[in-house]
Amino acid sequence: MPDDPAAFVVRELNSTEPARQLAVIKHLKLISMALDFKKELIKEFEKLTAEEALPDEVAASLAKVLGEMSDLISPPDLTLLFPTLKKLCNADETAVRDAAVTSLNQISLKLDKPTLQKELCPIVLELAKVEWWAPKVSACGLCHTAYAAYGDEENRKIIAEQFKTLCKPDDGASLEKPNPMVASAAAQRLGDMLEAVKGAGIKPADMTEEKHGAKLDSLYMAFLQDDHDYVKVAAVKSSPAIFKYWDLSSEPGKLFFACASDKSWRVRVAVAEVLSAVAEAAKTAGHSCDAVQDICNRLLGDAESEVKHAIGERLASVTKALGNAKFSEEVFSSDNGLKKMFKDVNCQIREKLAGVIMEMAEPLGKDAARRLMVDEGLLAEMLNDENTNVRLACFDKLVKTNFLDTLRVAGIHQGPLFEILRPLAGNPNWRVRHAVMLLLPKLVRVFNEDKPADAEATLNKEFGYKLFYCEDNTEAGKTAMISKYGTELDVLPWALDPIAQIRKDYATSCLDIVEVLSGSEKDKRASPGGSWATSKILPVLETCCTEKEHKDKYHQRIVLLTGLCALGEYLKQEEVDKKTDIILDMAKETLENGSYVPSLRSMIARDLPGLARSVSKGTLQKVKDCLAVMEKDADPDVSGFAKESSAKL
């Protein structure tokens, strides 16, 4: 490398090898920090872009990095980046232009208005007036920044007029037709222009061409009537910004409504994609959302599956935005509704729709959700679907959404809900068993909020067979459960599951349950959760390690250590000390040839620090001594983990 780092950067940029150019551009921000940013690099950027010597991938990367570097450059010098970015705004490649526009807008946030008026606004106007379409597209993305830079009405009007020209240059006197690519770019930026207008203290609905240079609602309506569907799509996607200021019953609203029946399915899909955001905007503005309901029903009855699927995937967000429980039930249960769409076995997005159904609990409300999903058997049907991805989507939403918080666990549906989930905890499909285990802490939390006195007993009764040893684990218990549920079940606790991921997550799930049962009790070991863990879970952990049948199943035996690391603070200290001695003895075990078991010792060496907060001082010293011995182990993994663990203690 040359003595001068700046010279190295220049050489790499001029190498004509894209890989080398990308490598140096990727680290340009870091290099600039080290160099205190040399202005000669800016000149090099200008030279390279002026010569158009950079491949598109390199040019896009440079345009992006220049915006990121703005944090390192003092405001007076930031405008030195403008010539390079201006040149990149002329590129035909979309990625290059988009990155350049983003960087110019990013840099502009750090500059005062007089500087922007002098340096940026002329660039915007120049780009807008170039005959070629590419710079015009870039100008569309910069107009709102130029508009916001001016404080006087006259100059703002000039920018607005220029934006209108980009949208539709044909003023009736000219034969020039708007370029659809430019029109599409302008349509995408309507929301930005609206915010700039509002920021200038002007009500968008009060704009006139005579006074302000453009009427943004007129431009929006022109876009929605364009001959090119991708221009319409771009305008539709700007609709949420429009309906912050215009009612859905207005002329723009009527044209938006008409888009739900547009001849292009792409336009109708775009309407579905923005409908919830439009509802949110209209509701926030205090406008009626009746049109949203009509549009939703129209899209649900569409002949194209792409359109029906698009609105189906968004029904939960639409109904949540509307906040109308009656309408939520209507679109859930109607002939074209969500439930029927999901039940179509030929539907290609059933797993997504299953998740939407679970999300619908909140807009439906407790009573309707219970009736439609639990009482009518839909929840059981989804959780037992032949498609595993459908089942997992439901479990994922049970954990992550407000389904259980809305429906609640305690109540008249408690029995049916547990009868759905209980056999699934031992399902032959390991992913289903795992999903139930991950759900259990939330299930216990919600139940505990309503019936804290019954939480532990109910947990033990319904799911104890997968958490600890009980009658259901015996052969007689297994036979009885199989007879009851009519399916094969794995009745052993999850700690003994043949799947490593389930064994690994068992301790964490138990800890989450223990924390719920313990409540606000400060003495963890004397808490209800601590007592439950000591009496129910600890014996299972010990069995994982000490049973003769597990002697050679090292990944099974290590469950004792992972369990103690997770639950140790809730278990009686003398018990933790005793079980730690078992682990330390396990670390000394040898094979018949007298050699240690590296995989077992490496896992022990890695996890032993997790016991530090739970054991007595005497046992902690034993742990340290054990690690000291393993630091000298011939196996590099064992010695490496041991050294890392010793450092933590």
* Between 75 and 100, the higher pLDDT residue: 100
Q: What is the pLDDT of residue 612?
A: 92
In sequence order, the 6+-apart residues with CB closer than 8 A to the CB of 362 are 316, 320, 401, 402, 403, 406
In sequence order, the 6+-apart residues with CB closer than 8 A to the CB of 487 are 423, 427, 428
Question: Are the beta carbons of 358 and 401 closer than 8 angstroms?
Answer: yes
- Amino acid of residue 16: T
Q: What is the pLDDT of residue 173?
A: 40
CA-closest candidate to residue 575, choices 528, 606, 536: 536
Question: Are the beta carbons of 334 and 345 closer than 8 angstroms?
Answer: no
Taking only the tens place, the pLDDT of each residue in 509-568 is 999 999 999 998 889 999 999 999 999 999 999 998 888 787 778 888 899 999 999 999
End-to-end Cα separation, the chain, in angstroms: 43
Q: Is the pLDDT of residue 3 over 70?
A: no
How many Å apart are CA 109 and CA 68, to the nearest integer?
A: 12
3-state secondary structure 51-81: CCCCCHHHHHHHHHHHHHHHHHCCHHHHHHH
Q: Length of the chain, please?
A: 649
At residue 55 the predicted structure's pLDDT band, cuts being 50, 70 and 90, is confident
Q: What is the pLDDT of residue 551?
A: 74
Taking only the tens place, the pLDDT of each residue in 259-295 is 999 999 999 999 999 999 999 999 999 999 999 999 9
Q: Which ranges constitute the DSSP H helices of 486-616? A: 500-518, 528-532, 538-546, 554-557, 559-567, 573-587, 598-607
Dihedral, 205, 208, 213, 219 alpha carbons, nearest 10 = 60
How many Å apart are CA 405 and CA 447, to the nearest integer?
A: 9
**Best-predicted range by mean pLDDT among 155-164, 273-282, 481-490?**
273-282
Q: Is the pLDDT of residue 89 over 50?
A: yes
Q: Is the pLDDT of residue 472 over 70?
A: yes
* pLDDT (mean) for 445-462: 93
Q: What is the pLDDT of residue 175?
A: 38
Q: What is the pLDDT of residue 1?
A: 45
Q: What is the pLDDT of residue 71?
A: 80
Task: Give percent of the chain above pLDDT 70.
Answer: 96
How far apart, in Å, are the Cα atoms of 592 and each of 596, 597, 635? 9, 11, 18
How far apart, in Å, are the Cα atoms of 265 and each of 233, 297, 306, 308, 470? 10, 16, 8, 10, 58
3-state secondary structure 353-387: HHHHHHHCHHHHCHHHHHHHHHHCCHHHHHHCCCC
Q: What is the pLDDT of residue 409?
A: 85
Structure tokens at 308: 């029906």
Q: What is the pLDDT of residue 315?
A: 96
DSSP structure class, residue 596? B
Q: What is the pLDDT of residue 546?
A: 85
Q: What is the pLDDT of residue 594?
A: 65
3-state secondary structure 596-644: ECHHHHHHHHHHHHHHCCCCCHHHHHHHHHHHHHHCCCCCHHHHHHHHH
Q: What is the pLDDT of residue 593?
A: 64
Helix (H) / strand (E) element for 314: namely none
How do the domains of the chain map onto residue ranges? 512-648
Question: Are the beta carbons of 644 and 622 closer than 8 angstroms?
Answer: no
Q: Which residue has the tokens 């509704």?
A: 337
In sequence order, the 6+-apart residues with CB closer than 8 A to the CB of 571 are 525, 530, 533, 534, 538, 564, 614
At residue 185 the predicted structure's pLDDT band, cuts being 50, 70 and 90, is very high
* Helices 315-322 + 290-300 axis angle, to 10: 160
Q: Is the pLDDT of residue 171 over 50?
A: no
In sequence order, the 6+-apart residues with CB closer than 8 A to the CB of 545 are 557, 558, 559, 560, 582, 583, 586
Checking phi first, is residue 74 left (phi over 0); if not, alpha (psi -120 to 50) or beta?
A: beta
* pLDDT (mean) for 20-42: 74
**Best-predicted range by mean pLDDT among 73-82, 201-210, 430-439?**
430-439
Q: What is the pLDDT of residue 446?
A: 94
DSSP states of 243-305: TTTS-TTSHHHHHHHHHTT-S-HHHHHHHHHHHHHHHHHHHHTT---HHHHHHHHHHHT-S-H
Q: Is the pLDDT of residue 101 over 70?
A: yes
Give the bridge partners for 141, in sequence order: none
* pLDDT (mean) for 628-643: 92
Q: What is the pLDDT of residue 371?
A: 93
* pLDDT (mean) for 341-361: 94
Q: Which ranges constitute the DSSP H helices of 69-179? A: 75-78, 82-88, 94-108, 113-119, 121-129, 133-140, 143-149, 153-167
How many Å apart are CA 582 and CA 580, to the nearest integer?
A: 5
Structure tokens at 331: 């679109």
Q: Is the pLDDT of residue 471 over 70?
A: yes
Helix (H) / strand (E) element for 339: namely helix 338-343
Q: How far out from the chain centre does Cα 323 lie? A: 24
Q: Is the pLDDT of residue 417 over 80?
A: yes
What is the rounded radius of gyration, in angstroms, for the C-alpha atoms of the chain? 33
At residue 460 the predicted structure's pLDDT band, cuts being 50, 70 and 90, is very high
Query: Right CATH number for 512-648 from 2.160.10.10, 1.25.10.10, 1.10.3720.10, 2.130.10.10?
Result: 1.25.10.10
Q: Is the pLDDT of residue 296 over 80?
A: yes
> Nearest 5 degrees, angle CA 163-CA 169-CA 173?
135
How many Å apart are CA 576 and CA 591, to the nearest integer?
A: 27
Helix (H) / strand (E) element for 13: namely helix 5-13
Q: Is the pLDDT of residue 6 over 80?
A: no
* Between 619 and 1, the higher pLDDT residue: 619
Question: Are the beta carbons of 243 and 284 closer than 8 angstroms?
Answer: no
Checking phi first, is residue 134 left (phi over 0); if not, alpha (psi -120 to 50) or beta?
A: alpha
At residue 99 the predicted structure's pLDDT band, cuts being 50, 70 and 90, is very high
Task: Give percent of the chain above pLDDT 90.
Answer: 70
Q: Is the pLDDT of residue 619 over 90?
A: yes
